[in-house]
Amino acid sequence: MTIARRVLVVDDERFFREAIRDALVGVSPCSLAENGEEALKLAEDPAVEAVVLDMRMPGSSGVDVLKELRKRRPALQVIVLSEPADQSLVLEALRLGASDYLAKPLHDEELRLAVARALSATRLGTRWDLLRGRLLRLREVFAELEDAVRGEALGDRLALLAPRVVQSVAGVLGAARASLLVREGDALRVVALVGGNVALSDLTPVPSAQSLAGLAFGADEVLRIEEVERDERCAGRPRRGQYASGCTLLAPLDVETRPFGVICVADPYLGRPFGAEDASLLAVLAAQIGSLLGGGSPPESETPAAAVAPAQVDLQETQRVELLREVCEAMTREVEPEALLRATLAPIAECFDAVVSVYLADGRSGQLVRAAQCERGSRSDRSRLPRDRGLTGLVAQTGRLVAVVHPESEYRFDPLADTPEDGRPGPLFCLPLTVRGKVLGVARILPPEGMALPARTAEVLVPALSAAVRNALLYRSLVESIEDVARARREAGSQRGR
């Protein structure tokens, strides 16, 4: 059952409480509190997804309430209200983690926009919390699968792994149905199944060209289908019409770089369709299963266009999941933009002994300007990069990941764009940083000579680093808007005083 989200309004003056509630009609229902003690009690309700908090109240101050809210519910978005003269109080609230600031007297439209942003941000924070939990569960799944086949002959591993795989996939992704199919001649045969109302013994192999799973067999990436009945790729496939929701993920399963089968999950029961995060988790899990079935390390995905095949560093799927978890955790520890970005980059720099930098597009100069860097040793990346030159420019313009060990051998190589500060070419891994489909900048990872970052690891880092950039930009924009409002009010006051 879906819980109706609510906004908690905290103000000691009844007039303001009710005025805010009335202004938010159509945006969100509200709960009202006249003091800090009542507010903290009401905030225990998980339906409360945003708080509008007056900073000056008798008894518990707004700062005290904010500190306690941040302790109890870190992902909850808090909008603080204050008088125009209380700029220092507002800045203290922002340092404590407040998400926005509004000056009294309030403007209804400004209030509605701020609350809508806060509700969206809370839901995003909840998604990150969910992702962290799923990453931890994924790590446990890897350990369980490895224990299940330890010491077993390769030929016996499929029978041991198959039932565990479908149960684990369904649990991690919140799917009502999951199945594992393997190649049998020109057909795909279901070897394990959870959910659905068909017995495994009643299923017969289906030619790959005719089955829904055949769409993913031998593919380069997980296929995400939101509605089977309406997706043109599914036309003419006899398996259409067998899904409760029509939403499914199809992951190619390769063993020793050769197509082996397909993992299918369908009918999410978490109240939302499968998203890009679900597809990424399934891709990581499929790579681990392929590794266990082949008896070796998981095969890495092919390097994207404009890249040469690197000599991969030995990074297991469990390490990849742990790295992503550390990046997500670091993102929650800082608020100030540069500190947040540096904290996010630190686990990557340590893992690969690399220089890692984030560059954001600068509209005035047309260049990529370094916003944060985490160094290892004495090396450093450039402070500015051309946005339209070299392999780095290719990433900024197209949003395509570039991974090269010897960038100087690429025809698009530009020494001013594709080398660090010392001008010496070396392994270059450039990731697009995107928000709502728009490339805002790039992240560069420069490992030592002879070390390469696995392409799949780079792919799973893209959404995490993009989220860090989004958070940093939101905070920077908020502080700037507060300073602009304060400046405008001071100027207006000086004009009236003349």
**pLDDT for res 51:** 95
Burial class (CB in 10 A: 0-12, 13-18, 19+), 451: middle
Residue-level pLDDT at 421: 92
Residue 257: CB atoms within 10 Å: 11
C-alpha 56 chain-centroid distance? 36
Whether residue 309 is predicted with pLDDT greater than 60 in this model: the reply is no
Task: Please tell me the distance from the alpha carbon of residue 295 to that of residue 255, in angstroms, as a whole number.
Answer: 9
pLDDT of residue 360: 94
Tell me the domain boundaries of the chain: 6-123, 151-294, 317-478
Is residue 449 scored above 50 in pLDDT?
yes
- Report the alpha-carbon distance of residue 494 to residue 33 in Å, rounded: 36
> Residue 173: is its pLDDT beyond 80?
yes
The tokens for 461 are: 């880092």
The predicted structure's pLDDT at residue 416:
92
Tokens (6 digits) for 106:
């309030």
Alpha-carbon 205 to chain mean position:
37
For residues 325-340, average pLDDT? 77
One-letter amino acid for residue 400 of the chain: R
Q: What percent of the chain has pLDDT over 70?
A: 84
**Strand order from edge to edge, sheet including 402-404:** 384-386, 367-374, 355-361, 438-446, 428-435, 402-404
φ/ψ of residue 381, rounded to 5: -90, 170
Contact 324, 477 (CB under 8 A): no
Q: Mean pLDDT across the chain, nearest whole number? A: 81
Mean pLDDT check: name the lowest of 232-246, 250-264, 291-305, 413-427.
291-305
151 — pLDDT class (breaks 50, 70, 90): confident
CATH of domain 317-478: 3.30.450.40
**Please, which pLDDT band fits residue 478 given cuts at 50, 70 and 90?**
low
Comparing 378 with 22, the larger pLDDT belongs to 22
193-226 per-position pLDDT tens digit: 988 777 787 788 888 777 778 888 888 788 888 7
Tell me, what's the pLDDT at 442?
Answer: 95
The pTM assigned to this predicted structure is: 0.52
Q: Higher-confidence residue: 136 or 284? A: 284
pLDDT at 311: 43
Output 483 or 69, whichever has higher pLDDT. Answer: 69
| Whether residue 60 has pLDDT greater than 80 | no
pLDDT 10s digits, 341-390 = 898 899 999 888 899 999 999 988 989 999 999 987 778 999 999 998 99
> Which of the listed ranges 124-128, 302-306, 362-366, 450-454 does the model predict with the highest average pLDDT?
362-366
The residue among 61 and 314 whose pLDDT is bigger is 61
Is pLDDT of 327 > 90? Answer: no
Q: What pLDDT does residue 380 have? A: 92
pLDDT of residue 299 exceeding 50, the answer is: no
Asked if 6-123 and 151-294 have one fold, the answer is no
- CATH homologous superfamily of 151-294 equals GAF domain (3.30.450.40)
* pLDDT reading at 242 higher than 80: no
Burial class (CB in 10 A: 0-12, 13-18, 19+), 434: middle
Q: For 67-113, how does the pLDDT look when each residue is reduced to its tens digit (9 = 90+)?
A: 999 889 888 899 999 887 777 888 888 888 888 888 888 888 889 98
Residues 6 or more apart whose Cβ sits within 8 Å of residue 243: 177, 228, 266, 267
pLDDT for 295: 63
Highest mean pLDDT among 25-29, 54-58, 333-337: 25-29
State residue 297's pLDDT score: 38
Separation of alpha carbons 176 and 201, rounded Å? 20
Architecture of domain 6-123: 3-Layer(aba) Sandwich (3.40)
Question: pLDDT by residue (tens digit) across 243-275?
Answer: 555 688 889 998 877 889 999 998 887 667 887
Predicted pLDDT at 312: 45
